[in-house]
Structure 1
Amino acid sequence: MSHDEVQFNENGTLTAIPKHPLVWVPEMSEGNQEDDLLVLPHIALLSITQVTSTSSFVTRLGLNIVIRQTNTQPLVEMTAKEFMFGYDSTLMSLGYQFLPSWINFEKLGLIDRMYDFEGDYETVFTGENDIAKSGLIDTYRGSHTLTQWEGQCGNVHNASDATKFSGNIQENDTLLFFRKSMCRAYEMIRVNSTTRSGLDGYIYHFAPNSNDNGNIRPENSCFCTETPCLPSGLLDVRGCYYGFPIATSYPHFFGADPKVRESVDGTNPDYEKHHSYFIIEPKSGLPLEVAARFQINMVLGNLESMAHVEQFSHMTLPLLWTETRLFGLPDSLQSRFRLYLNVLPIVETVSMYASFVLGTFLIWLSCWQYLKKIKNMTRTRKTWIDEFVEEPDTIKRASLTNRELETYYDSLVTPLNQDIVEHRSDEEI
């Protein structure tokens, strides 16, 4: 992922334009090529016929004439790259020319529409005011919520795109994960703990029945935008995909209502292969391992009145499933965060106790030096007194009373006073 036109704001956030460029990697493609020919669903035809199926008779008649004249079929041969990034379609060209407010692209590819960030911008927290929020989303397109949903279903505030989660995570904290292609933020709950790359981590899964539309989780009723609601396990995201009948689920309809798979052969949901999980270092919010897995489907209604697509009526048609994966931290980050999170806290603790011991020793040493000095002063004073008492011309203080000291003092002072008086008398005369 990249972020363009980064701008720092005064409230401890930054605003940027997110982008997610995709690059084909031949050595990771198991021998498959971008130009391999496949027979795949004609997404444009199925989408337009679904949208038009509830329109007036005249509208349906006009579209059927175009479909028959162009001989557009629901299954077509195309390359893998065309399916992902766009293929030529007469219907799309007509839609682009006559309905530019609805369709603003001439080619339709599944992945390029999922990663269309035209006009998007997001604002994230820098951590300046609260370090625990560093990297979390404040607003998307200037709002805390997505306009496609009402109420709490559209909330993306304090969500993470899995680059970094909140810091100082407590065991019972609920986290949020958001990617635009999912059209919502998913709640994540901690299920266990583990260690990855020498760092302790919490294991998170999506909350149970996250793709429910209110049948099981009443708080999810705002995800039901059309009546009747989709079965549990399918999330209607047409609002994020130009009104096309797109719904997301987990791969192979994992965890969905069993009746969703009734019209589809070949589905084989597997917990290990198809569930999503996140391993997060709780102090920093650093993701240690991530596997976010989603499936893109078309949910089609009654198409019996539309040309060439009648056999797809009332079908949930899986198109592809994706896995956003972080297998582990790069070596440079592993070493750095092991130092930050494992070594430095020990050094800090050892330094603290060492400073305490050293401080205690210095205080004891100061007290000992002070007491030693007092003892020396006392010894010196005692020696002086002893020397004074032992002088032959002095009076031994041990045998003198207060009266004797006073008499001795007067005997010393009286001659001096007499000399002063006689001197003053001579001056007067």
Structure 2
Amino acid sequence: SYSGPGSQSFVIWKDIPVPFIFFNWTNPADIYNPDVKLRMPKFVETDRLAMAMALFDTSLHVKKSIRELTFEGYEDPLLELASILPDFLLPTAIPFNKFGWFYTRNNSATYDGVLNMYTGRGHIQNFGKMARWNYNNESLGYQSNCNYIKGSAGDLFPPNPQKDSISIFSTDICRTLTLSFKEEVMTEGIKGYRYWGDENMLDNSAENTDAGCFCSSGSCPPKGVIDVSSCK
């Protein structure tokens, strides 16, 4: 089992190396009282959002369990509305019937799609590199050179890596990310290389003009912000 006690995924989630932080909004009801200081970051409310929320008797805050917020998901009136609206009224199709940060991913072997990769036969430097995603060599999420399937899936890499960079294809954002070499490390007596995402990893033409094809909507968001509307 993927999630059974003793499995690799269970051990990782039990003591996860990347912290997950859920903030408790102490006084959500006081958002309607202008004389009370809110204990949360500022937000922007638009007229259309306010109208939709009033129509479906929803508010800016919900009270849900961690289980519902992560994998189980919860039903939301706005998602129900989106499911019955004509396609021309939505910028993209809504693929879920519930909201949850990791909804449908738990114990799923198909969420990321079908990944075809090279075995290294004939050329060991191709070992672990992506060949196709969902049987295509293009991601269809971006334009021209930005939609090519390349890099590793993140699990396997060719031997003898170089001290320059490695590439990982992410199915969550339909694109390849380049991680730059940072330093040599020792882990349990084994020498390794550490790569990281530097300030240019999510550049979409602010400084690197070749990355302009990642701007799927015609206008590029600020550096470090990516538009995945054409991907998901």
Task: Choose which of 175, 178, 181 in structure 2 pairs with 1:190.
Answer: 181
C-alpha distance 149-82 of structure 1, shift in aligned 2 (>3 A): same
Equivalent residue in structure 2 for 1:68, among 28, 34, 54: 54
- Unaligned stretches of 5+ residues in structure 1: 3-21, 30-35, 42-48, 54-59, 242-429
CA distance in 1, matches of 2:99, 2:11: 18
Could you say which structure has the higher helix fraction?
1
Q: How does 1:10-409 map to 2 (within 5 A)?
A: 28=15, 38-39=24-25, 66-85=52-71, 86-99=73-86, 102-112=93-103, 117-118=110-111, 120-157=113-150, 159-172=151-164, 174-241=165-232
Give structure 2 stretches of 5+ with no counterpart: 3-8, 17-21, 29-44
Task: Show the counterpart of 1:56.
Answer: none
> Aligned residue for 1:281?
none
Per-residue deviation at 1:206?
2.8
2:125/2:159 contact within 8 Å kept: yes
Looking at structure 2, the residues matched to 230 and 119 of structure 1 have their Cα atoms a distance apart, in angstroms, of 26
Q: Structure 1's 68 and 138: CA in aligned 2 closer, same or farther, altered over 3 A? A: same
Instruction: Give distance in 2, aligned partners of 1:112 and 1:23.
Output: 18
Alpha-carbon shift at residue 39 of structure 1 (Å): 4.8
Query: How far 1:153 moved relative to its partner?
Result: 2.1
Is contact 1:211-1:235 (8 Å) kept? yes
Cα distance in 2, alignment partners of residues 185 and 218 from structure 1 = 16
Deviation at 1:98, TM superposition (A): 4.1
Q: 1:37 to 1:25 in 2, by over 3 A?
A: farther
Q: Distance in 1 between matches of 2:161 and 2:23?
A: 48
Root mean square deviation of aligned Cα: 3.8
Residue identity in the other structure for 1:75:
H
1:164-191 Cα offsets, whole Å, 9 max, x none, are 112232344x321123224321112323
Q: Is the 8 A contact 2:112 2:171 kept in 1?
A: no
Tell me which structure has the larger Cα radius of gyration: 1
**Are the equivalent residues in 2 in contact too, given 1:39–1:76 (CA < 8 A)?**
no
Of all paired residues, the percent bearing the same amino acid is 22
Alpha-carbon distance change, 114 to 181 in structure 1, aligned in 2, over 3 angstroms: farther
Check whether the contact 1:133–1:167 (CA below 8 A) recurs between aligned residues: no
- 1: CA distance, partners of 2:93 / 2:189: 51
Distance 2:195 2:112 in 1: 32
What is the TM-score of this pair, normalised by structure 1? 0.39
Change in Cα spacing, 1:123 to 1:71, as seen in structure 2 (3 Å) is same
How far the C-alpha of 1:25 sits from its partner, in A, is 8.4
TM-score (norm 2): 0.68
The aligned length equals 198
Structure 1 residues 98-126: Cα deviation after superposition (integer angstroms, max 9, x where no partner) = 45882243212122267884582111111
